[in-house]
Amino acid sequence: MAVTDQFAAFALILGMIFSFSHKIKKSAFIFSILGILGGFLLFGLRVYEPKGMNLFLIALNRKLAVTIAAFALLSLIFTLIAWLINNKFFRFVNIFTLGILIIAVFSYLLPPVLQYTREFVYFGEAGISTNAMLRALGFTLGIIICLLLILSSYEVHKSLRNDKEKYCFLSASILILFFEYGVNAVTALQRLKILKTSDAVFNISVFDVMIWRGANPNAFLYAQLILALIMLVFVIKTHLKPLGGFANRALLRKEKARLRDCRRWSWSLCVFGLIAVFIVVVLHYYDTKPPAEVQPEPYEINNGIISIELTKVSDGHLHKFLYSTPNKFDVRFLVVKKPAGTAYGVGLDACEICGIAGYYERGNDEVVCRRCDVVMNKNTIGFKGGCNPIPFEYEIKDGKIFIEVKELEKHETRFK
């Protein structure tokens, strides 16, 4: 899913670029290899030098987003010039800008995708398990879908009748890419402290751009797929029947076969596009759909002290509770028995990193953060740090957990 989500839109552009002359195809292939090598290099630096290179790589990633936006604009300009002016120099510059764009996009997209290969096995899982194999299979299928999108986009774009039509669709696709990474560049420049959230771009604030991007993560993929749909409909419509005369029936059959192949590739592009949409929309929804909230359990409260029977929370499962403060804040907290010994983990249903997103139980023994999907080590619940639940003071005696409501009221503003 992550592969398709990241690469599906760019796969359509890459197929269009490959469909031009042999010289452009060869150059695009070389630039793609360089971009893939650059992506692996950055991924390697992130993995093996996380401490020394972390801040540098974060800054570099943001600069790459700006670079992609800049070269998408340059590629668009010189693609239009190469379309309008059949000049050797402008064609060379067009190939060069497209090449740098390809390298930059691969270098930007590949490292986070490769990072998923390190997450096939979740914390606490066996190295070889059904879930790990399914994740690896999904990753592989994502690569296959993107390769098929490149191939079908290549064949459909190649089926266009002349360079004018090819340049037209490629220019539209690069324009969409420019808008996509233009939005990403605005966010990147804000992170680099070059832009402020209050700054405006065409009377739209940087903050509004960032909010829109977060709320519409697949908007530009849909735009690329709509463009691909227009292109394949155009090819189908112009390849329904042979035009002109033929010296013999053999040539006529050959032309009919060619037209039939063009229509089939058009339908294949439609099918693979629909599969990509299904993956990034439907599967993504079910994969990220938050599980049902654990309902707060009852407890006793006397003289400002909450008491919870240990027998009610000693099954090793996650138990949640809720205390409404006098200021009308609903403070959620949780209790879980630790696997080792008789200790209990007690903390807020919130952490310092992900805020009040809270936790849920996956399977029979995993406590997972709702926002970042990190699996908690139950033995560390009750300790500070990382994505652990925020701890607070409590006492265990006489078979009960005792919590002063004042301890919970200290954290009430976290639950605004």
The residues spanned by each domain of the chain are: 2-288, 300-415
Distances (CA, A) of 387 to 126, 165, 308, 357, 375: 22, 53, 25, 11, 9
In this predicted structure, what is the pLDDT of residue 124?
Answer: 55
Highest-confidence segment of 129-138, 252-261, 281-290: 252-261
What angle (nearest 5°) sits at the alpha carbon of residue 146, between those of residues 143 and 151? 125
**Rounded distance between C-alpha atoms, residue 270 and residue 394, angstroms:** 60
- Cα-Cα-Cα-Cα torsion 108, 113, 118, 124, nearest 10 degrees, comes to 120
Tell me which fold the domain 300-415 belongs to: Rieske Iron-sulfur Protein (2.102.10)
**Would you mind telling me the total number of residues written for the chain in this entry?**
416
Give which of 28, 30, 60 is closest to 43, Cα–Cα. 60
pLDDT exceeds 70 at position 363:
no
Q: List, in order, residues 6 or more apart from 271 with CB less than 8 Å away.
A: none
Is residue 57 very low, low, confident or very high in pLDDT (cuts 50, 70, 90)?
A: confident
Model's pTM, two decimal places? 0.72
Q: Where are the beta strands (DSSP E) in 162-203?
A: 200-201
pLDDT digits (tens, 9 = 90+) for 36-46: 999 999 988 88
331: helix, strand or coil: strand
pLDDT exceeds 70 at position 105:
yes
pLDDT exceeds 90 at position 154:
yes
Q: Is the dihedral of CA 169, 174, 180, 186 positive or negative?
A: negative
